[in-house]
């Protein structure tokens, strides 16, 4: 939550590195005034800070220099982002045919892509084999059989990882915790199901088993769970070595690294994360007497999240005496579902002018026909906030555009890339005509 004392401050952990307030009070991102952006491109708009995104890719690449690093496209995906990922030397994690199509359209090398999904369609598996996707993460016994049958039909061998649940509960929100047994992803290590799946892959004759994949959830700030998961995965590798006489060469530990949404959040740096995962895997391998496999991670939010902000314009301000001030903006749950789904608290600031008014509590809400349409539940904004003001919400680069929806037949906002004082639309604004075109009457 923004506190009452820092209403104009831009805490570096919460805002892109390029964010600064000009002496006239107007926020600049990527060297561009948000007032100019609002005039040129309208509001609401997602701002994509290319420098921040590129820098975060590079930081992960450097810190995890001895790992394979896959950017998780589900966090935020467009062709420009894909090209930045490629230039930074990262690989790409996709989980649908749609994400794969964007990656291929941007020219991303298929052999550097991993395909996820707990219920891949035949068409997605067909495309993965046809395009030569580097790794397919198989998520069930059914899928092992389906993929193996397809591979046999096409006389090819697919390189696969088996998605396992290591029985680890992280501090991720219930809606996206995926390391424990009682959820839809993965095959449990406990009870031998994962070992059975591995045997099934090895016996298929059509699948090239590279290792296993674990993913604990998202927005994880307490990173101890990664070490536990790595240890359990390595114990499984030791079992595979004993049973089948093979050393699995790779281990993918997934993504989930948290970012700061509030001043209270202190996420680990990529260097700290890499050191911790490297050490946990090495310790477990030593304990079990096996060689350390090639490790991989899949950061999504930690790369895209802080590289994005959302720009809104205030429509109405309603001051309910003795109760609360409601500041309504021109977007809401259609462009950011996360406050409703996860209760996420975002930083918000008055972005288009200076104000000397004292800070006052306010609730920033959207324009949708639902009382749960809240953008920032407990904000502090200058007491003179008024209709026509611009507000910027930070840390919306991950899981906002990618989770945007058309609630109330609202067209989705554009993505405007900003960099070095220049701005350009990289995903255009949807129009009502776009939506009507889908409705065949």
Task: Give min distance, CB of 257 to ligand PLP, in A.
Answer: 5
CA–CA gap between residue 115 and residue 106 (Å, rounded)? 16
Q: Judge contact between 404 and 381, C-beta under 8 A.
A: no
Q: Does 56 bind ligand PLP (CB under 6 A)?
A: no
Among 49, 50, 68, 93, binds ligand PLP (CB under 6 A): 93
CA–CA gap between residue 190 and residue 148 (Å, rounded)? 25
Q: Does 116 bind ligand PLP (CB under 6 A)?
A: yes
ω into 44 cis (within 30 of 0): yes
Indicate if 78 belongs to the active site. no
Q: Does 200 bind ligand PLP (CB under 6 A)?
A: no
Q: Does 306 bind ligand PLP (CB under 6 A)?
A: no
Task: Give min distance, CB of 99 to ligand PLP, in A.
Answer: 12
Q: Does 299 bind ligand PLP (CB under 6 A)?
A: yes
Task: Give min distance, CB of 86 to ligand PLP, in A.
Answer: 18
Catalytic residue among 78, 95, 285, 369: 369
Nearer to ligand PLP, 116 or 120 (CB): 116
Among 45, 57, 75, 151, binds ligand PLP (CB under 6 A): 75
> By rule CB under 6 A, what count of residues binds ligand PLP?
18
Nearer to ligand PLP, 174 or 439 (CB): 174
Q: Does 134 bind ligand PLP (CB under 6 A)?
A: no
CA–CA gap between residue 213 and residue 33 (Å, rounded)? 43
Q: Does 215 bind ligand PLP (CB under 6 A)?
A: yes
CA pseudo-torsion sign 252, 253, 254, 255: negative
Which residue number is nearest to ligand PLP in terms of Cβ? 300
Token duo for residue 383: 């007491």
- Is residue 311 helix, strand or coil? strand
Q: Judge contact between 212 and 251, C-beta under 8 A.
A: yes
Q: Does 298 bind ligand PLP (CB under 6 A)?
A: yes
Among 207, 302, 364, 365, binds ligand PLP (CB under 6 A): 302
Planar angle of CA 255, 257, 259, nearest 5 degrees: 145
Residue 136: name the closest of 146, 147, 145 by CA: 147
Instruction: Tell me which residues in 233-272 interact with ligand PLP (CB under 6 A).
Output: 254-257
Q: Does 186 bind ligand PLP (CB under 6 A)?
A: no
Among 165, 218, 344, 419, binds ligand PLP (CB under 6 A): 218
DSSP string, 130-159: HHT-SEEEE-SHHHHHHHHHHHHHTT--EE
Residue with tokens 């993460």: 137
Q: Is 399 left (phi over 0), alpha (psi -120 to 50) or beta?
A: left
Instruction: Tell me which residues in 19-48 interact with ligand PLP (CB under 6 A).
Output: none
Token duo for residue 206: 């059509």
Q: Judge contact between 256 and 216, C-beta under 8 A.
A: yes
Among 301, 313, 367, 412, binds ligand PLP (CB under 6 A): 301
Instruction: Tell me which residues in 394-423 interact with ligand PLP (CB under 6 A).
Output: 398
Residue with tokens 């959830």: 217
Catalytic residues: 369
Site residues (CB under 6 A) for ligand PLP? 72, 74-75, 93, 116, 176, 215, 218, 254-257, 298-302, 398
């Amino acid at each position: 939550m923004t506190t009452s004392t820092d209403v104009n401050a831009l805490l570096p952990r919460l805002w892109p590195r390029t964010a600064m307030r000009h002496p006239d009070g107007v926020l600049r991102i990527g060297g561009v005034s948000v007032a100019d952006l609002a005039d040129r491109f309208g509001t609401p708009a997602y701002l994509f800070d290319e420098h921040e995104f590129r820098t975060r890719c590079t930081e992960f690449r450097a810190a995890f220099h001895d790992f394979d690093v896959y950017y998780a496209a589900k966090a935020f995906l467009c062709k420009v982002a894909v090209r930045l990922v490629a230039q930074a030397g990262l690989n790409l994690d996709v989980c649908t045919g749609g994400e794969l199509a964007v990656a291929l359209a941007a020219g991303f090398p298929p052999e550097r892509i991993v395909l996820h999904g707990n219920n891949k369609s035949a068409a997605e598996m067909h495309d993965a084999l046809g395009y030569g996707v580097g790794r397919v993460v198989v998520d069930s016994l059914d899928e092992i059989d389906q993929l193996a049958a397809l591979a046999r039909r096409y006389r090819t061998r697919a390189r696969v990882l088996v998605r396992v649940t290591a029985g680890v509960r992280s501090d991720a929100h219930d809606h996206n915790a995926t390391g424990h047994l009682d959820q839809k992803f993965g095959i449990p290590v406990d009870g031998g199901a994962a070992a059975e799946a591995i045997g099934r892959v090895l016996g298929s004759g059509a699948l090239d088993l590279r290792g296993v994949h674990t993913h604990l959830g998202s927005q994880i700030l307490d990173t101890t769970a990664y070490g536990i998961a790595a240890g359990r995965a390595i114990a499984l590798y030791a079992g595979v070595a004993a049973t089948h006489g093979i050393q699995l060469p790779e281990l993918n530990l997934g993504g989930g690294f948290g970012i700061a949404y509030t001043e209270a959040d202190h996420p680990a740096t990529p260097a700290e994360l890499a050191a911790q995962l490297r050490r946990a895997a090495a310790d477990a391998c030593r304990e079990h007497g096996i060689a350390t496999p090639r490790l991989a991670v899949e950061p999504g939010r930690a790369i895209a999240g802080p590289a994005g902000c959302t720009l809104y314009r205030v429509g109405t301000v309603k001051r309910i005496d003795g109760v609360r001030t409601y500041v309504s903006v021109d977007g809401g749950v259609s462009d950011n579902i996360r406050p409703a789904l996860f209760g996420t608290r975002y930083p918000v600031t008055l972005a288009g002018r200076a104000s000397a008014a004292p800070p006052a509590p306010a609730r920033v809400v959207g324009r949708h026909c639902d009382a749960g349409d809240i953008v920032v539940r407990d904000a502090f904004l200058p007491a003179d906030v008024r209709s026509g003001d611009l507000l910027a919400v930070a840390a919306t680069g991950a899981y906002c555009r990618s989770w945007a929806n058309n609630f109330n037949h609202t067209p989705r906002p554009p993505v405007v890339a900003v960099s070095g004082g220049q701005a350009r639309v990289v995903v255009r604004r949807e129009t009502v005509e776009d939506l009507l075109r889908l409705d065949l009457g």
